[in-house]
């Protein structure tokens, strides 16, 4: 009882007997009063006895077991358990019973207060050292465990979860068997049958079910590209598994590219094991986030084209996104691109990529060698962060300004420094001309100065595309394609 004083004395022992004895630890049936212990908690002495011939001898007080004083209040443990954050509940279930050290490592200076609160609610039972002297409060926390009711609930939940996991695995294998028939979904089939990350399986099953139950088992390939290509098939699956969670990716420490607004690093998608490129803003200010949002928007709008870098997954807040991992840029492959056939192939890919965006009113405004990426032997246009949306859709025209101008110095068309919001396709065509000049001369262009190769089949084309007056240049990428065909 609460009013009973703690007595840690020894019980009288009988006469010495040289007979076998055993040691027993037992919790007293009555609570004792401990100064300073909250009134909604009871403390029960824990003794160790020597038992000889059924008689308890030499009682020694070891510690105090603290439980909820109010049976009624403790019966509401399920409601109280629901008010604790999920991570803490998971930790408690996984570490019960446990010593005080791990508990205090997890909850720090708030540990004892939490034990008081959770014990009163019937969630835990804990043990403390006894008072070091009469009238003192209890000593340090020693150990803890879940209450019997909560432990039973945790065991039942774990069993139910195990049954659900088994049913989910069965369903996953059935779906995987159906999807194995299609080259487009064989990657998805493999991770359904043999998951790399079991925690990802429920989401994978949901995606697979939507594909199987859809009007068609897979989507048609982008025009001019076979979806049975391994890279394209992986993109097909990754886009459908995307859910905007950064924890779905293990991002490399080493940075591939570091720009003024963002960094790019390699990453692994945990659910599939596929390697991807992970791009994130360096500073989460309004402008940087808006530019990344523009890049994500363009990648999703036009990423179905084989020569535009697609967005596979993205943060809803536009702080990061994922794209396929390219093997390099036009800067990386500059030496190879000096060969006319290879250069022509890249230029055709860029023009093909820009056709539809230009027709819909999008202007890239930042074409340069670093934004032309080689993705498994095909060139793609990337990084639309400084792009201009169709007129009337730009929320803040000045947002794409970088320094005193727009785009990248040397590759940006002259008119970008005058009225970047009103530029048209000739601005991107100017940048393409400067890219050709930079590759063939090995030099970096200067602002508003055409970088013209001294001789060769590309000289006239670069002269034409880099004229200062935008109305004097080729007006569409189809006009430019005709010039590229003629440059033999």
Residue 488 pLDDT exceeds 80: no
- What's the pLDDT band for 228 if we cut at 50, 70, 90? very low
| Mean pLDDT, rounded, for 42-54 | 89
pLDDT given for residue 231 in this prediction: 65
| Res 423 pLDDT > 60 | yes
- The backbone torsions φ and ψ at residue 203, rounded to the nearest 5 degrees and listed phi first, read -65, -40
DSSP string, 340-406: HHHHHHHHHHHHHHHHHHHHTT-B-----GGGEEE-SSSEEE---TTPBPSTT--S-GGGGEETTEE
Residues 6+ apart with CB under 8 A from 350: 307, 367, 372, 379, 381, 432
* Distant-in-sequence, close-in-space partners of 77: CB < 8 Å, separation ≥ 6: 121, 122, 123, 147, 149, 150
**pTM (predicted TM-score):** 0.70
The whole-angstrom separation of Cα 87 and Cα 334 is: 51
pLDDT exceeds cutoff 50 at 279: yes
Range from 196-205, 206-215, 282-291, 468-477 that averages highest in pLDDT: 468-477
Q: Phi and psi at residue 372, in whole multiples of 5°? A: -110, 110
Distance CA 127, CA 46 (A): 9
pLDDT band with cut points at 50, 70 and 90 for residue 393:
low
In the predicted structure, residue 12 carries a pLDDT above the cut 90: no
Given this model, what pLDDT does residue 398 score?
A: 52
Count of beta carbons in the 10 Å neighbourhood of residue 103: 23
Average pLDDT over residues 264-271: 96
- The reported pLDDT for the residue numbered 404 is 39
Q: How far apart are CA 123 and CA 94, in angstroms?
A: 14
Round the average pLDDT of the chain to a whole number and report it.
89
List the domains of the chain with CATH numbers. Answer: 22-146 (no CATH), 155-218 (no CATH), 245-325 (3.30.200.20), 328-390+403-488 (1.10.510.10)
Encoding tokens for residue 347? 């230029």
| 3-class secondary structure, 273 | coil
181 band by pLDDT with thresholds 50, 70 and 90 = confident
């Amino acid at each position: 009882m609460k009013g009973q004083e703690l007595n840690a004395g020894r019980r009288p022992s009988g006469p010495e007997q040289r007979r076998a004895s055993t040691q027993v630890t037992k919790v007293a049936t009555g609570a004792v009063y401990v100064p300073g212990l909250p009134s909604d908690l009871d403390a029960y002495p824990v003794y160790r006895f020597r038992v000889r011939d059924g008689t308890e001898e030499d009682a020694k007080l070891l510690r105090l077991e603290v439980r909820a004083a109010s049976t009624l209040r403790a019966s509401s443990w399920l409601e109280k358990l629901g008010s604790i954050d999920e991570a803490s509940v998971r930790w408690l279930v996984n570490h019960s019973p446990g010593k005080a050290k791990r508990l205090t490592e997890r909850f720090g200076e708030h540990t004892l207060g939490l034990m008081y609160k959770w014990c009163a609610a019937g969630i835990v039972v804990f043990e403390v050292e006894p008072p070091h002297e009469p009238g003192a409060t209890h000593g340090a926390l020693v150990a803890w465990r879940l209450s019997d009711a909560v432990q039973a609930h945790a065991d039942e939940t774990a069993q139910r979860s195990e049954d659900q996991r088994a049913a989910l695995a069965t369903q996953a294998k059935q779906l995987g068997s159906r999807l194995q028939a299609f080259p487009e979904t064989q990657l998805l089939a493999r991770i359904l049958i043999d998951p790399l990350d079991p925690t990802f399986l429920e989401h994978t099953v949901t995606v697979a079910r939507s594909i199987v139950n859809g009007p068609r088992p897979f989507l048609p390939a982008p025009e001019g590209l076979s979806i049975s290509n391994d890279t394209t098939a992986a993109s097909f699956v990754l886009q459908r598994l995307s859910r905007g969670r950064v924890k779905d990716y293990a991002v490399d420490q080493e940075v591939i590219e570091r720009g003024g607004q963002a960094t790019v690093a390699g990453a692994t998608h945990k659910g599939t094991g596929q390697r991807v490129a992970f791009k994130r803003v360096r500073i989460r200010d309004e402008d940087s986030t808006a530019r990344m949002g523009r890049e994500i928007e363009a990648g999703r709008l036009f990423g179905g084209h084989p020569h535009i870098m697609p967005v596979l997954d993205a943060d809803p807040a536009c702080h990061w996104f994922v794209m396929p991992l390219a093997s390099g840029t036009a800067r990386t492959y500059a030496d190879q691109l000096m060969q006319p056939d290879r250069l022509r192939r890249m230029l055709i890919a860029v023009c093909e990529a820009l056709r539809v965006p230009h027709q819909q009113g999008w202007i890239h405004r930042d074409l340069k060698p670093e934004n032309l990426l080689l993705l498994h032997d095909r060139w793609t246009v990337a990084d639309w962060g400084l792009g201009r949306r169709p007129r009337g859709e730009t929320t803040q025209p000045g947002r794409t300004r970088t320094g005193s101008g727009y785009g990248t110095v040397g590759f940006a068309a002259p008119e970008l420094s005058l009225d970047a919001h009103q530029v048209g396709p000739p601005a991107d065509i100017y940048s393409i001309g400067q890219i050709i000049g930079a590759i063939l001369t090995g030099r970096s262009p200067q602002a508003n100065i055409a970088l013209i190769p001294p001789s060769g089949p590309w000289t006239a084309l670069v002269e034409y595309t880099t004229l200062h007056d935008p109305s004097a240049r080729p007006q569409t990428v189809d006009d430019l394609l005709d010039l590229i065909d003629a440059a033999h």
